[in-house]
Amino acid sequence: MVALMPWFALIVTIITGWLIIKRYSTAMVLLFAGLAMFVFAVLCGVHGFLPKGVKPSGLVWFDIFELLRTIAAKQASGTGFLIMVAGGYAAYMDRIGAAKALVNVCIKPLKALSSPYLVLVLGYLIGQTLVTVIPSAAGLAMLLLVALFPILLGVGVSPAAASAVIGTTAGMTLGPASGTANLAAKVADLDPIIYFVQCQLPVAIPTLIVVAVAHYFVQKYYDKKNDDVYAQSILTQKEDDRQVPGWYAILPCLPIALMIVFSKLVYSAIKINTISALLLVWVLTVLIELVRRRNAKDVLKDGQFIFKSMGGMFASIVALIICAEFFANGLKVTGLINGLITNAQHLGLGLNGMTVVLTFVVGLVTFLTGSGVGAFSSFAALAPDVAGGLGGTAAAFVTPMQFASGLLRAMSPVAGVIIAVAGAAGVSPMAIVRRTWIPMILGMITVIVSNYIFLG
């Protein structure tokens, strides 16, 4: 029976992937897949799967749910809480108009340029820079559709080209404000800002250059071909479109600036972690809003919006991470992970070979489902064990997986951000995807190569 456990886990994993592709609830599918593996393992006589320091309940069946409780408690107070605060902070900055102010400041230089496709490339690079402080792909796309889209049309770029570039601006989820980046940093056992500087940037910079160049030629080619069929374009603007001072653009960037300054990168005598920096700037912003608007009731109501958004982040991302970790523990307890490592060693794949394989799996699931968070969360927890078993680092293993969850989302016709920008351009999602797949595939190849050079 014990010998059957890895095969059972493999079958469960295949069924899990199929259900996720069929757009069943990812979190619930992962939860019950993990539960199925634990039940089979217990029936095969496996006990003692609780983490160190967690006392058994006395009944092994209860221990399964004690493990689930332990994972949930750890996430709710650790990485999960960090993701909730970061998401809540980003939503608050968007609500008060600071995120829009940042976008407006960043795109001003584009108005001085006259070369259509150079403007388009710079717009892409600006968007990818903004994702460090506006981590929501759909949220950033909506801001850029209002601020950048008209500029691109004004210099002669087609609506489809403009939307394709805007749809890929969150392809590389960078920085400590991103949920997947925070999860990757946790898996790699690094501080989020250190992971950003030492792991993400060396891989991201050459990738951004390659994608930008690809966008230049791909969008120019399809615009010359001129065979897109347009319908009425739809640009959704907020009902509450607030006018704020230009200097509000500083506010979304302040937490990252604080974390960089007060770290071993600049000044290590004083340290501030990500959550503290976000909360500090949030309180500071509320005080600034009180002074500027002089309407305490409305300002405090806006300030509370961070907590409402944190609840949304728990429901959409943290719950998924909890279920994904439970699923990963099921893979471990059935012996599938050890078997995977052993077979990889026998096949001579090594760390780089396994990195490519699992990165491909994450990218494929992302493409088919349109959700990078679910795909990455499902496999991220495996990184330390696989990397350790193959003699590598978790950071080198997890970084390309994390980037794959964003890059291949930008070429998925069922991704929310692609559907949104297609509606803005008045074309079908497939018309956008045919303009994004070449830059994204070239970007993914560059990620793998850069990861091997700089982190491998």
The 10 Å Cβ neighbour count of residue 3 is 8
Averaged pLDDT for residues 65-70: 93
Handedness of CA 82, 84, 87, 91 (dihedral sign): negative
Q: Of 40, 29, 46, which is closest to residue 4 (Cα–Cα)? A: 40
* 53 within some domain: no
Q: Is 55 part of any domain? A: no
Residue at 315 is within a domain: yes
Residue 288 has a pLDDT of: 95
| pLDDT tens digits along 6-41 | 899 989 988 988 887 787 888 898 899 999 999 999
pLDDT at 133: 83
Provide CB contacts within 8 A for 33, sequence distance 6+: 12, 13, 15, 16, 327, 330
- pLDDT value, residue 341: 67
pLDDT for 135-192, tens place per residue? Answer: 878 778 877 887 788 888 888 899 999 999 999 998 988 888 788 898 999 899 998 8
pLDDT for 233 = 60
Task: Tell me the pLDDT tens digit for each residue of 425-442.
Answer: 888 888 899 999 999 999
Q: What is the pLDDT of residue 15?
A: 92
CA–CA dist 309, 306 (Å, integer): 5
- CB 130 within 8 Å of CB 102: yes
pTM of the model: 0.77
> Is residue 62 situated within a structural domain?
no
Residue 397 C-alpha from the chain's centroid: 16
> How high is the pLDDT of residue 32?
95
Q: Residue 21: its pLDDT value, please?
A: 76
**116 Cβ contact partners less than 8 Å away, ≥ 6 residues apart:** 152, 155, 156, 157
Instruction: Give 2's DSSP letter.
Output: G
Cβ pair 425, 233 in contact under 8 A: yes
In whole angstroms, give the CA distance from residue 207 to residue 202.
9
Checking if the pLDDT of 344 tops 70, the result is no
With contact defined as beta carbons under 8 Å apart, do 392 and 440 qualify?
Answer: no
The top-scoring range by mean pLDDT among 214-228, 308-322, 367-381 is 214-228
Which amino acid, one-letter code, is at 407? Answer: L
Q: How far apart are CA 330 and CA 420, in angstroms?
A: 36
Evaluate whether residue 206 is within a structural domain.
yes
Nearest of 439, 433, 322, 447 to residue 367 by alpha carbon:
433
pLDDT reported for residue 220: 95
Let me know if residue 70 belongs to a domain: no
Neighbours of 444 (CB within 10 A): 23
> What pLDDT score was predicted for residue 231?
73
Please say whether the beta carbons of 150 and 111 come within 8 A.
Answer: no
Instruction: Classify residue 54: in a domain, yes or no.
Output: no
Q: Is the pLDDT of residue 345 over 70?
A: no
Q: Which residue has the higher pLDDT, 265 or 110?
A: 110
Q: Structurally, how many domains does the chain consist of?
A: 1
User: Nearest to residue 256, comparing CAs of 138, 191, 145, 177?
Assistant: 177
Q: Note down the domain range covering 359.
A: 2-46+78-454
The pLDDT of residue 240:
58
Is 66 within the bounds of a domain? no
Q: Is the pLDDT of residue 395 over 50?
A: yes
Contacts of 429 (CB under 8 A, 6+ apart): 413, 414, 418, 419, 422
Question: How confident is the prediction for the chain on average, in pLDDT?
Answer: 86
Q: Which position has the higher pLDDT, 297 or 314? A: 297
Q: Which pLDDT value is given to residue 236?
A: 47
Q: Which of 419, 455, 416, 418 is nearest to 440 (CA)?
A: 418
Which amino acid makes up residue 338? N
